[in-house]
Chains A and B, each alone.
Chain A
Amino acid sequence: DVKVTQSSRYLVKRTGEKVFLECVQDMDHENMFWYRQDPGLGLRLIYFSYDVKMKEKGDIPEGYSVSREKKERFSLILESASTNQTSMYLCASTIVGSEAFFGQGTRLTVV
């Protein structure tokens, strides 16, 4: 059974804090993605990675960075959290041109 696991289901952080969202997949997928989901805006791509230590910016990378030191793990970092980063964050993994599997999501609230 394929599995993509995000480290937290709910997070509350203060403005200015550094926030780490972790995602682990057990399917040996090359590609991993971070999206944020907001009502009416769909799934917007923040960053993705197609190999260890490789990363590409998505549509909304500002205020975020990522790390992929191992194939199975892809981390999203908010260097200095702001209230406009309050959102649902979804991680996904896939092999090239095939089904993407999503994590359960992390609901982040920045106060």
Chain B
Amino acid sequence: GENVEQHPSTLSVQEGDSAVIKCTYSDSASNYFPWYKQELGKRPQLIIDIRSNVGEKKDQRIAVTLNKTAKHFSLHITETQPEDSAVYFCAATYNQAGTALIFGKGTTLSVSS
């Protein structure tokens, strides 16, 4: 089955800096890669996702890149703000019935002002 590795487990940055979180996946059939943000005491919520037919996707200060050959994908947050502080999870799955959605172990991002 799918296995997703996520690094780093913790990340501390100054406000205004960029933050990068990296994930690798094992199943070459995976074709959907979402990123979730979980604030303290709240449920995870989707912030951005990418499909395997796209190499990069951007939404304001957030971008995700995908390298299918190397089987890794990354989340980039620019101009970080204190409200970006949260746990971020990457995940991988493929577009087929009976497919599990497997998450990485999460990255705790702390943005200090």
Do the two chains bind? yes
Residues on A lying within 8 angstroms of B by beta carbon are: 30-31, 33, 35, 40-45, 48, 50-51, 54, 56, 58-59, 90, 92, 94, 96-100, 102-105
Cβ-defined partner of A40 (8 Å) among B9, B49, B97, B101: B9
Evaluate contact between A33 and B97: CB separation under 8 angstroms.
no
Count of chain B residues near A, Cβ 8 A: 29
Total CB contacts across the A-B interface at under 8 A: 67
CB distance B100 to A43 under 8 Å?
Answer: no
With most chain B CB atoms within 10 A of its CB, the pick from A48, A54, A98 is A98
A40 touches B105 (CB 8 A): yes
A50 and B98 within 8 A (CB): yes
Interface residues of B (CB under 8 A from A): 1, 6, 9, 31-32, 34, 36, 43-46, 49, 51, 89, 91, 93-106
A31-B95 Cα distance, complex, nearest whole Å: 12
